Structure 1
Amino acid sequence: MEKRWVQAVQGNKETTDLLAQQLNIDHSLAQILVQRDISTFEEAKDFFRPQMAQLHDPFLMKDMDKAITRIDLALSNHEKILVYGDYDVDGTTSVALAYSFFSQFTENIEYYIPDRHKEGYGISTQGIDYAYKNGQSLIIALDCGIKSVDKVAYANTLGIDFIICDHHLPGDELPAAAALLDPKRNDCPYPFKELAGCGIGFKLAQAYCITHGLPAERYEQYLDLVMVSIAADIVPVEDENRILAYHGLIKLNHNPSMGLKALMDISGRNKDYTLTDVVFVLAPRINAAGRMDHANEAVKMLLCAEDSIALSQSEFINQQNTERKTSDQNITAEALALIADCEILIHKKTTVVYHESWNKGVIGIVASRLTEKYYRPTIVLTKSNGLLTGSARSVAGFDLYEALLGCEDLLVQFGGHKFAAGLTMMPENIDAFSERFENIVASSITDDLLCPEIKIDTEIEFSQIDGKFQRIISQMAPFGPHNPAPIFVTHGVSLVAKPYVVATKHLKLNVKQQNSAIFESIGFGLAEFETLLQPNQPFSICYTIEENIWKEQRRLQLNIKGIKI
């Protein structure tokens, strides 16, 4: 699929010149910093060296004082507490953090993850009934609950209080919880709105330690869990998320929790992790537990305190991930065949596909794959407990949540954010929903948004690339949404030797520019250019610069995102 190259607007030249001089860095790198709203030496210092002391006061979050007061009451009265969370990576890391942290202060605590297939997303009646049956009078819900008005009301009739720690958009009515922690509340003054669910749990633990004069180590020991949630939930890597991700990666690479260490070992990669590595290596394995069976298995692994148990638990989860891969590949193939067989679907601005036998646990992955293939808002539906349940994915720049809001009367429930959501509906509504969803998207999405773009930071010459240049780039990490790895463009590039294809779809090539050094390069998914590129024919490339590590050897490599002849 052809992609648009969009070059960022250059920042103020005087500011860039001064910053380059103050930091003693290449002008192009200073320009990237300015483009990312870093314009002074102090701002650059904070960016390159994030400090835990820069975290916001947790009591700026609405209801944090109420949450701590209610927890103190529960602990002093020896109440039974249930830690409740979602079944994805953010939810399971949240539960592991909150359960482990508060287990330091009480033995009257348990955790609960809803069954994806039997209970669905969010607070369930079954979960509340479980708490009531077991005499648990306080539920701490993480990564869910902000729209569970009726469920919290039901819990209140049973004498059960809720503390909700969520990061999703609230509805018009808020649940009647004892405390409701969500920076996205309209009345919440917390200065950073984009924490992951596990991040909210971390702030709760931080607030508890501040209140009781406990050392920061009591909550900072969970930084690796918070970082995994930030990576997996694809939240903006800025402000507090950048600080937490930065220090979480340090912990993961030097002193990970026993469960994560076992998972790293079983994956065959146990050091030098980046956020991207977490997304592609650790997160799918943690997610696999809830996709294929029950997410309790992931929480068990994350809470492991013995090497042998952590190893066996990680092996089990790794096997579930292998089964997940087979399942999502088969369903993706079936979905692609459905689209190919229905010509009307090819020409729509949306994709909505359904099959009653598809595994509910992997349809989110399938939706992502279909979005990559056709690049348009996509919903994949299956049947579960008499309802149609689905996962939705969007394209960059289009607000999926708003589109679903326009279909709210056709849905039993839905939740999520701009780029990903979950939904359920009555089976008889699928045709009406598909038509309205298509009409809403078609009336508001632009042609540009239906064509993937490559955002280029700046143009450079190969002569600018050296060890120092790459070291500065590496200090801009962790990379993710709102802080992507810098993408450069270079013109007048030529082949050094004939390119070749690896793994059927990726292109390996060596390139140079005039008399520059030769750079090894890889273009993922760019195999089509193998025959299009010719010797002595100049072309342009946009790329990131990476350090390739192979058998303890490190060398610079260009990761080519696009080629123009």
Structure 2
Amino acid sequence: MQKRWLLNEETDGELVQSLQENLGISENLAFLFAQKGIRNYEDAKAYFRPQLDQLHDPFLMKDMDRAVDRLSSALENGEKILVYGDYDVDGTTSVATFYGFLSETHDTLEFYIPDRYKEGYGVSKAGIEYAIESGFQLIVTLDCGIKAHDRVSQAQSAGIDVIICDHHTPGDELPTAYAVLDPKRTDCKYPYKELSGCGVGFKLLQAYCQRKEMSQDALLQYLDLLAVSIASDIVPITGENRVLTYFGLKKLNQDPRPGLKALVDLCKNRNDFTVSSIVFGIGPRINAAGRMDHARASVKLLLAKTEEDADAKASLINDKNDARRDFDNSITEEALLMIQSDEVLLNAKSTVLYKEDWHKGVIGIVASRCIEKHYRPTVILTESNGKVTGSARSVMGFDVYNAITECADLLDQYGGHMYAAGVTMEIENVKAFQEKFESVVASTITEDQLVPAIKIDLVIFLDDIHFKFYETLKQMGPFGPQNMQPVFVSENVHAENAKVLKEQHLKFTVKQEGTNGSIDAIGFGLGEYYDLVNSGMKFHMAYTIEENDFRGHKSLQLFIKDIKFE
């Protein structure tokens, strides 16, 4: 698939020179520092040496005082508290963190995860009825609730207070809950808006500890779960999220809780876990329980106290993940065939596919897989409990949540973010939704947004690549959305010893005229370029720099993102 290369050309030359002189660094590093918003030594220190004291005061969040007061009184008076979370990774880590921390000292809490298939996303009628029947006096929702107007009213009518901890975009009006914690509230002045759902719950616990003048050491033991939530929910790795992820990854790699250790062992990852390895290793396994059966299993795994218990629970979840992968592959093949065999779908600006027997648990994954082949906003729909439910995914720069909002008259329910959303509608509305969504996308998306882009940080020579340079790059992590690993371009290079691995991956030694060095490069899925690179033609190459550890011998290699021939 043809890709656009977007070279960062907005860097302030005077700032680059100032950083180079004042910090004693190379021009290339000064360019990268400037792109990260670093303007002086203090900025560099804050960026490269994250500290927990950089976290914001939780009481800056709207309604935090009310939430802490209500939670404190419920705990002091022995009220029954229901911790209610969504069934995805963010929701289950939220519940494991909130319930796990408070249940160490209080025994009046219980947790509740809705059934993806019987109850659907968010705060369900069945969940509120369970709370009423069981005599709960307080419900704390995590990673959901910001649009649960009817369910909150239902709980209040039964004398149950509700504290909402959510990070999704609110509607025009907020539910009439006792407290609504959501940094995306228009009237909330909290300095950082991009917390995960688990992050909002963590801030409530942080505020609770401050109010009670408790040490936060016990709470910080849950940072490994918080890092998993941040990585898996694809929120920006900037500001507060970057600090939390930095320390969460430290715990995950050095002293993970038994449940996460069991998942790490299943991933067979030889290196330290990063945001990326959580996204592709731990996250899918936690999600698999809710996709294939019930997400309670994930929470129980994350709360496991012993390695033996965790290993047994993780093994069962891994089996669910294997089954999920089979469904994912077969449905993706079916979806792609539907697109390729329909001229209208092939030429559309969006993809909206519906089949009543597709597995609800994998349709979000299928939407992402479709975008890899047909790069455009995509909604995959299936039938569940007499309704049509779907998952939407988007492309760089296009707000799929706004596009879905334009179709709200056809929907029973919807919610989400710029790049991912969920919908529920009546079966008879599917065709009208397909047509309206396509109309909205076609009238608002740009041609550039329909071509995948690679953001290039800097053009460098191969001679610029050495371990000292790489060690500084590595300290710019954790990498993730809005703090991506630097991507470089080297121009007029040529390949030697090219070969194709496993019939699809390209590997060669890359050299550059006028420089002395050579370095190994590998491009996953780029085997189609073999004949061209093997011909001796010069080309431009976009790549990231990685460390390869083979039998104790460490070397640098380039991970190819794309190749362009002149």
CA-to-aligned-CA distance 1:529-560 (integer Å, 9 cap, x gap): 01111344221101110112334432211011
Residues in 2 aligned to 1:275 and 1:550: alpha-carbon distance in whole angstroms? 22
Residues in 1 aligned to 2:325 and 2:551: alpha-carbon distance in whole angstroms? 28
Residues in 1 aligned to 2:552 and 2:235: alpha-carbon distance in whole angstroms? 32
Aligned to 1:503: 502
Aligned to 1:309: 309
CA-to-aligned-CA distance 1:245-291 (integer Å, 9 cap, x gap): 11111111101111101111122226511111111111111111111
Aligned to 2:391: 391
Residues in 1 aligned to 2:154 and 2:503: alpha-carbon distance in whole angstroms? 55
Residues in 1 aligned to 2:262 and 2:126: alpha-carbon distance in whole angstroms? 32
Higher mean Cα deviation, 235-244 or 211-220? Answer: 211-220
Check the 8 A contact 1:92/1:299 in 2, yes or no: yes
Higher mean Cα deviation, 261-270 or 146-155? Answer: 261-270
After the TM superposition, which residues 190-229 of structure 1 pair with which residues of structure 2 at under 5 Å, given as runs? 190-229=190-229
**Structure 2 counterpart of 1:170, which letter?**
P
Three-state SS of the structure 1 residue aligned to 2:508 is strand
Residues in 2 aligned to 1:97 and 1:280: alpha-carbon distance in whole angstroms? 22
Three-state SS of the structure 1 residue aligned to 2:193 is coil
C-alpha deviation, 1:201, in angstroms: 1.0
Residues in 2 aligned to 1:133 and 1:327: alpha-carbon distance in whole angstroms? 37
Aligned to 1:282: 282
Aligned to 1:464: 464
Give the 3 Å change call, closer, same or farther, for CA 131–312 of structure 1 in structure 2. same
Aligned to 1:91: 91
The count of residues paired between Structure 1 and Structure 2 equals 564
Query: Unaligned stretches of 5+ in structure 2?
Result: none
C-alpha deviation, 1:152, in angstroms: 0.3
CA-to-aligned-CA distance 1:136-168 (integer Å, 9 cap, x gap): 111110000000011100111111111110000
**Structure 1 counterpart of 2:505, which letter?**
H
**Structure 1 counterpart of 2:504, which letter?**
K
Aligned to 2:559: 559
After the TM superposition, which residues 39-188 of structure 1 pair with which residues of structure 2 at under 5 Å, given as runs? 39-188=39-188
Three-state SS of the structure 2 residue aligned to 1:496 is strand
Residues in 2 aligned to 1:332 and 1:536: alpha-carbon distance in whole angstroms? 37
Three-state SS of the structure 1 residue aligned to 2:276 is helix
Residues in 2 aligned to 1:355 and 1:89: alpha-carbon distance in whole angstroms? 26
Residues in 2 aligned to 1:89 and 1:67: alpha-carbon distance in whole angstroms? 24
Higher mean Cα deviation, 25-34 or 172-181? Answer: 25-34
Higher mean Cα deviation, 534-543 or 206-215? Answer: 534-543
Aligned to 1:450: 450
Check the 8 A contact 2:496/2:534 in 1, yes or no: no
Aligned to 2:425: 425
Residues in 2 aligned to 1:484 and 1:538: alpha-carbon distance in whole angstroms? 28
Residues in 2 aligned to 1:276 and 1:516: alpha-carbon distance in whole angstroms? 33
CA-to-aligned-CA distance 1:224-257 (integer Å, 9 cap, x gap): 1110011000101100000001111111110111
Three-state SS of the structure 2 residue aligned to 1:362 is helix
C-alpha deviation, 1:123, in angstroms: 0.1
CA-to-aligned-CA distance 1:318-343 (integer Å, 9 cap, x gap): 11111110010000011111112221
Residues in 2 aligned to 1:313 and 1:526: alpha-carbon distance in whole angstroms? 38
Check the 8 A contact 1:192/1:239 in 2, yes or no: yes
Residues in 1 aligned to 2:18 and 2:451: alpha-carbon distance in whole angstroms? 37
C-alpha deviation, 1:434, in angstroms: 0.6
Aligned to 1:236: 236
Residues in 2 aligned to 1:90 and 1:554: alpha-carbon distance in whole angstroms? 35
Give the 3 Å change call, closer, same or farther, for CA 267–534 of structure 1 in structure 2. closer
After the TM superposition, which residues 380-419 of structure 1 pair with which residues of structure 2 at under 5 Å, given as runs? 380-419=380-419
Give the 3 Å change call, closer, same or farther, for CA 489–259 of structure 1 in structure 2. same
Alignment identity in percent? 54
Query: Unaligned stretches of 5+ in structure 1?
Result: none
Aligned to 2:435: 435
Residues in 1 aligned to 2:549 and 2:10: alpha-carbon distance in whole angstroms? 33
Residues in 2 aligned to 1:343 and 1:536: alpha-carbon distance in whole angstroms? 39
Residues in 2 aligned to 1:488 and 1:348: alpha-carbon distance in whole angstroms? 33
After the TM superposition, which residues 516-555 of structure 1 pair with which residues of structure 2 at under 5 Å, given as runs? 516-555=516-555
C-alpha deviation, 1:20, in angstroms: 2.1
Aligned to 1:3: 3
Residues in 2 aligned to 1:46 and 1:202: alpha-carbon distance in whole angstroms? 22
Residues in 2 aligned to 1:14 and 1:81: alpha-carbon distance in whole angstroms? 57
Residues in 2 aligned to 1:274 and 1:552: alpha-carbon distance in whole angstroms? 20
Residues in 2 aligned to 1:74 and 1:451: alpha-carbon distance in whole angstroms? 53
Higher mean Cα deviation, 128-137 or 57-66? Answer: 128-137
Residues in 2 aligned to 1:506 and 1:66: alpha-carbon distance in whole angstroms? 56
Aligned to 1:485: 485
Residues in 1 aligned to 2:461 and 2:33: alpha-carbon distance in whole angstroms? 18
C-alpha deviation, 1:4, in angstroms: 0.7
Check the 8 A contact 1:494/1:535 in 2, yes or no: no
Three-state SS of the structure 2 residue aligned to 1:39 is coil
Check the 8 A contact 1:253/1:271 in 2, yes or no: no
**Structure 1 counterpart of 2:299, which letter?**
V
CA-to-aligned-CA distance 1:446-478 (integer Å, 9 cap, x gap): 100000011101110111111110000000001
**Structure 2 counterpart of 1:220, which letter?**
L
Residues in 1 aligned to 2:19 and 2:284: alpha-carbon distance in whole angstroms? 40
Aligned to 1:29: 29
Residues in 1 aligned to 2:71 and 2:12: alpha-carbon distance in whole angstroms? 50
Residues in 2 aligned to 1:66 and 1:299: alpha-carbon distance in whole angstroms? 27
Give the CA RMSD over aligned residues: 1.1
**Structure 1 counterpart of 2:500, which letter?**
V
Residues in 2 aligned to 1:409 and 1:537: alpha-carbon distance in whole angstroms? 55
Three-state SS of the structure 1 residue aligned to 2:360 is coil
Residues in 2 aligned to 1:391 and 1:468: alpha-carbon distance in whole angstroms? 44
Residues in 1 aligned to 2:105 and 2:253: alpha-carbon distance in whole angstroms? 29
**Structure 2 counterpart of 1:333, which letter?**
E
**Structure 2 counterpart of 1:172, which letter?**
D
Residues in 2 aligned to 1:413 and 1:553: alpha-carbon distance in whole angstroms? 55
Residue 378 (structure 1) aligned with residue 378 (structure 2): yes
Residues in 2 aligned to 1:551 and 1:63: alpha-carbon distance in whole angstroms? 54
C-alpha deviation, 1:10, in angstroms: 4.1
Three-state SS of the structure 2 residue aligned to 1:533 is helix
C-alpha deviation, 1:97, in angstroms: 0.2
C-alpha deviation, 1:501, in angstroms: 1.9
Check the 8 A contact 1:352/1:434 in 2, yes or no: yes
**Structure 1 counterpart of 2:353, which letter?**
V
Check the 8 A contact 1:231/1:278 in 2, yes or no: yes
CA-to-aligned-CA distance 1:378-434 (integer Å, 9 cap, x gap): 000000000000000010000111101110000000000110000010000011111
Give the 3 Å change call, closer, same or farther, for CA 270–134 of structure 1 in structure 2. farther
Residues in 1 aligned to 2:25 and 2:357: alpha-carbon distance in whole angstroms? 57
Three-state SS of the structure 2 residue aligned to 1:477 is coil
Check the 8 A contact 1:8/1:456 in 2, yes or no: yes
Three-state SS of the structure 1 residue aligned to 2:180 is strand
CA-to-aligned-CA distance 1:156-210 (integer Å, 9 cap, x gap): 1111111110000001111111111000000001000000001011111111111
Check the 8 A contact 1:75/1:105 in 2, yes or no: no
Aligned to 2:320: 320
Three-state SS of the structure 1 residue aligned to 2:286 is helix
Check the 8 A contact 1:10/1:31 in 2, yes or no: no
C-alpha deviation, 1:519, in angstroms: 1.0
**Structure 1 counterpart of 2:511, which letter?**
K
Check the 8 A contact 1:261/1:270 in 2, yes or no: no
Residues in 2 aligned to 1:325 and 1:516: alpha-carbon distance in whole angstroms? 45
TM-score by length of structure 1 reads 0.98
Residues in 2 aligned to 1:183 and 1:535: alpha-carbon distance in whole angstroms? 55
Three-state SS of the structure 2 residue aligned to 1:473 is helix
